[in-house]
Each structure stands twice: as structure tokens, then as C-alpha cells.
Amino acid sequence: LDAASELLEIPPDDLEFADGVIRSVSLPARAVSFAEAVRKAEGKHGTLGATGSYWPPKNPRDFKGAGVGPTPAYSFSTAVVELHCDPATGEIKIDKVWIAHDCGRAFNPLLVEGQTEGSVYMALGEALMEEQIFRKSGLHKIPSILEYKSPTTLETPAIETILVETNDPEGPYGAKEAGQGPLLPVVPAVANALYDAIGVRIHEIPITPDKVLRALEGRLKPVSIPEFQFPAPIKWQPGEGIEVTQKS
């Protein structure tokens, strides 16, 4: 307000914030943008800062788990995955991912879309490639990024992002979060799509080709081979091109 007061030559007591500007209460036509006032203040005092505090509302009921309750604004996500799986090799190819994310208010939609697509990329790595493997001695078996597999641009499918904007009264200006929330539904969506494609359910990630083949073997392998009476082998007889009648 002091910076705006200097720019407008109006006492600070006669100024108010309204509609993105700082204007005079008595003479509303006299106004300056918030950005101009900030530039003026930073030029005089340096980088501006402020501190504050916030108490989230009391939970309406008792929740279990230490991770529930730290924030009053929770986002919601859902995903659909389309894939192909070769039952001969167990290889999975992700064709497309649809991801819908309720992030509250999206102040920067392009940034939120990028964050959401990054979460999808991370989820596909967890679902299909990334794995922690340790030796019996406890040492990590994959010590570098050369052995630790993660998707590249070649394995990244088409991603259709849908931002569902809502106004959360407890979030900052109605926002919730746009962090790693969209990661969560993609992994089970991959498992469900695989089940829909080849009819086997895998409950362990990463879903690698060897696990797919083992699951298919368990589904297709016969329980036992039925008894079958094979005919007695025909004994070979030498000859000079003369047809010999054999009885089987």
C-alpha cells in the first residue's frame, strides 16, 4: 500500500484492494495495478516476503492411518489404459492413457497438465519396468541407471489429460493439489487392462514379460496328461524294394 500510495499520491488509509488493482476509496477511478505496486516496492525494499499461519478444520470423523488428515484438500484421479499384450512373449505395449484429475482450481492449466502427464509417465515405469532387486548380502543388484529400467519417449504412449476443476473451500483459492496424485490410478488401470486383454490377473509390480508368461502357463497348462495306449512299435525288416505287408 505504501508503494501504491507513492505512485498515486494518495494516503494509504484511502486505498483498497479490488478487482486486481489498488484504488482510492474516495476516487475509484484513480488506481494502479498490483504488479506495478509490487515493482515499485521491490525497487525500494528488495524482494518482498510475508509469513502466515493456517489451522485446518477439524475432521468430521475419526480417521485411521497416520497419512490421513495432514491436509484438508484431497484431490481425486481416475485413469483408463489401452494396451496390447503378446501372449507368446509376454511383452506389453501401452497404446493410450486417459487420465482425469480433480485438482480444485487449476491456476496454470498447462502446468497442471504437464504435472499430470509426468505422473502418468512415473506410474507406467512403476507398473512395467522399475524394480528394486537386492542380493542375498543386502547389496542392491541394480546400482546405476544403466540397469534400472524406466520408460523412454519411445515407450511413452499418447496421454489424454482431463482437468476436472472444482472449488475446494479449504484449499488455497479453491485449489487442491497437482503433485503425484494422478500416479495412483494408472498402475491398477494397467493391471486391469492386461486382465481384459489376456484374462490373467497379476497382483505384483512391475508386470514384466516373465510374470505374464508364468501367469499364462498356470492358466493353460493341463493338470495331468490322460492315459493313452500307444500301438506297439513296428519292427524294421530289411528288403530289396519288395513291398512287405505290415500289421499294426
Rounded to 10 deg, the angle between the 109-128 and 186-198 helix axes is 50
pLDDT of residue 105: 92
Check whether residue 110 and residue 26 sit in a common domain.
Answer: no
Place of cell 519396468: 129
CATH no. for residue 173? Answer: 3.30.365.10
Rounded to 10 deg, the angle between the 209-220 and 186-198 helix axes is 40
Check whether residue 148 and residue 94 sit in a common domain.
Answer: yes
Check whether residue 135 and residue 189 sit in a common domain.
Answer: yes
pLDDT of residue 50: 83
Q: Is residue 27 situated within a structural domain?
A: yes
Check whether residue 31 and residue 83 sit in a common domain.
Answer: no
Check whether residue 38 and residue 117 sit in a common domain.
Answer: no
pLDDT of residue 199: 92
CB 34 within 8 A of CB 21: yes
Instruction: Residue 124: give the domain boundaries.
Output: 76-220
Order of strands across the sheet with 21-24?
A: 15-18, 21-24, 31-33
Check whether residue 81 and residue 39 sit in a common domain.
Answer: no
pLDDT by residue for the chain (248 residues), tens only, comes to 889 999 898 999 999 988 889 999 998 888 999 899 999 999 888 888 888 887 766 665 555 555 555 667 788 999 999 999 999 999 999 999 999 999 999 999 999 999 999 999 999 999 999 988 888 888 888 878 888 888 888 889 999 999 999 998 878 888 988 888 899 999 999 999 999 999 999 999 999 999 999 999 877 665 556 677 777 777 766 666 555 555 55
Please give the model's pTM, rounded to 2 decimal places: 0.66
To which H or E segment does residue 116 belong?
helix 109-128
If one counts the domains in the chain, the total is: 2
Whole-angstrom distance, CA of residue 89 vs CA of residue 199: 15
Q: Is residue 246 situated within a structural domain?
A: no
Spatial CB neighbours of 183, under 8 Å, sequence gap ≥ 6: 119, 120, 122, 123, 126
Q: Is residue 68 situated within a structural domain?
A: no
Check whether residue 33 and residue 85 sit in a common domain.
Answer: no
Q: Is residue 107 situated within a structural domain?
A: yes
Alpha helices in 12-90 (DSSP H): 34-45
pLDDT of residue 236: 65
pLDDT of residue 64: 54
Before 182, cis peptide (omega within 30)? no
pLDDT of residue 68: 53
